[in-house]
Amino acid sequence: SHPVDYNLPEGVHVEVEKNTLLTLTGADRERLGQTCAEIRQYRPPEPYKGKGIRYLEETVLRKEGKKK
């Protein structure tokens, strides 16, 4: 789609491990969780193809598509 710019709050650091894996770290757990939620809002996981931003251990319940 298009590039998205996001300014990280102070105290939150990001590491790009792979092209599809981001690791966020920080001392303040509340601020870290809020930052993760805001980043996830750009592309939430969708139930048909499973695309989108999701947490590491999260499973997305998939829905069946149209039937012919």
Residue 4 has pLDDT above 90, yes or no: no
Distance CA 54, CA 44 (A): 7
Domain chopping of the chain, boundaries: 9-63
CATH topology for 9-63 is Outer Surface Protein A; domain 3 (3.90.930)
DSSP 25: E
Contact 36, 28 (CB under 8 A): no
| Distance in angstroms between the alpha carbons of the first and the last residue of the chain | 29
pLDDT tens digit sequence for 13-57: 999 998 889 999 999 999 999 999 999 999 989 999 989 989 888
Distance CA 56, CA 18 (A): 13
Find, among 42, 29, 36, the residue nearest to 14 by Cα: 36
